[in-house]
Amino acid sequence: MSRKMLYRHAIREALDEELTRDENVVVMGEEVAQYNGAYKVTEGLWEKWGCKRIVDTPISEAGFIGMGIGASMLGIRPVMELMFWSFHSVAFDQLVNNAACVRYMSGGLINVPIVVRGPANGGTNVGATHSHIPEGLFAAFPGLKVCAPATPADAKGLMKAAIRDNDPVYVMENTLLYGTEGEVPEADAGDHVVPLGKADLKREGSDISLIAHGRSVIHCLAAAETLKEEHGINAEVLDLRSIRPLDQEAILETVRKTNRAVLVDESKGFGGVSAMVSHLIQEHAFDHLDAPITRVTTLDAPAIYSPHVENEQLPNPKRIVDKVLAQA
């Protein structure tokens, strides 16, 4: 049984359920409590759970994220919101050193069961500093886990997995998905947990594999429809969901089936998740490739503000279709 639900509400439900399940779960961040969250993801939680469990912080990302890491070493399970994931830049040391390395440097004596979450995307005309897409950046640090849900159901399920995971998990949401709707299993139908490390075949196809995560998955699905209707091309769409751990098997499987891949990634062209996926495919499915792997990424400049052109800087269905046609 399932019901329709907004992406933001699916995340809120995950938080609410985990707050209920484990008294050590605490939600922190700027404006998450009394203001209900800048993007209303935490709406109502402060009213329900009070000041101890839902905590407003000052604008001190290094301070409060480090604080959460420290508390997590004592068994607290902070779920910390970055109002934008872009603000990772002022908390970077805490995110990549203290969270990622403390376990290792202590020879495994410590673990850091934190979640850091918030939106990580372009497309809302907020300019260069507010539009970073850091999935690949963080996945590059062993010790960290990263996921990026594309649908309400995945958002809920991955968030619950992230909170229960005993390692630091960085959940990259998307402001443009918060208001999208999708089927989510009923709360009383049992725990809806989507494990980290499991990709999801969002559309079956035979001619080419579109591999993506986050909002790019939605673009791929739209592109696949156009390809089918206008060009008779049957594209398969694989949603990575989780970047680290990464479902390499699912990636190789779809490529072995279609023998072609277009990777869609909101990162800029140098690096990103897609460069890594490309390398893995050519390394492990070399003989299955009928053509070079190509990518659709964000045009390689800082994010432009202008609403007139920002969508053209980002991956979009048209750019995906063009890239597929160029290959096929």
Partner 1 sequence: MSFASEDSQKLDFAGSPVNQSLSADDKIELFRQMTRIRRFEQASLKMYNKGVMGGFLHLYIGQESVAVGTISLRGEHDHFITAYRDHGHALAVGMGMNECMAELYGKASGCSKGKGGSMHYFAPDKNYWGGHGIVGGQTPLGLGLGYGLKYKELEGCALCYLGDGAVNQGAVHESFNLAALFEIPVVFVIENNGYSMGTSQKRSSSFRGCLAQRAEGYDMEWDLIDGSDLYQVRAKANIAMERARKESKPSVIEIATYRYYGHSVADANAKKYRTPDEIENYKKNHDPIRLWEHRLLDEGVLTEEKSKEIDDAAKKEAADSIEFAENAPAPTVDSIMDDVYWESDNDTEASKIGRHFFND
Contact 267, 136 (CB under 8 A): yes
Q: How far is CA 9 from CA 21, 22, 56, 181, in A?
A: 18, 20, 20, 9
Strands (E), 74-186: 77-81, 115-119, 145-147, 169-173, 181-185
**Cα distance between residue 274 and residue 79, in whole Å:** 28
Could you say whether residue 122 binds its own copies (CB under 8 A)?
Answer: no
Applying CB under 8 A, among 57, 174, 180, 274 the residue interacting with its own copies is 274
Q: How near is the Cβ of 171 to ligand TPP at its closest, in Å?
A: 18
In whole angstroms, give the CA distance from residue 70 to residue 76.
9
- Find the farthest-apart pair of alpha carbons in the chain and give their distance in angstroms, rounded: 58
Question: Count of CB atoms within 10 A of residue 259's CB?
Answer: 17
Min separation Cβ 96 and ligand TPP, Å: 13
CA dist 312 and 327 (Å) reads 20
**Minimum gap (Å) between residue 52 Cβ and ligand TPP:** 22
Instruction: Catalogue the active-site residues.
Output: 61, 130
Number of residues that bind its own copies (CB under 8 A): 48
Q: How far apart are CA 265 and CA 262, in angstroms?
A: 10
Per-residue mark of binding to partner 1, 246-285 (x: CB under 8 A): xxx-------------------xxx-----x---------
Q: How far is CA 26 from CA 55, 72, 80, in A?
A: 8, 10, 8
Among 1, 75, 190, 229, binds partner 1 (CB under 8 A): 75
Residues near ligand TPP, by CB under 6 A: 30, 59, 61, 83, 87, 90
The partner in contact with residue 3, picked from its own copies, ligand TPP, partner 1, none with C-beta cut-offs of 5 to 8 angstroms by kind, is none
Smallest gap, in angstroms, from Cβ of residue 24 to its own copies?
A: 26
Nearest CB to partner 1, comparing residues 219 and 295: 295
- Interface residues with its own copies (CB under 8 A) are 88-90, 92-93, 96-97, 100-101, 104-105, 127-129, 132, 136-137, 139-143, 244, 267-268, 270-272, 274-276, 278-279, 282-284, 286, 289, 291-295, 300-302, 304-305
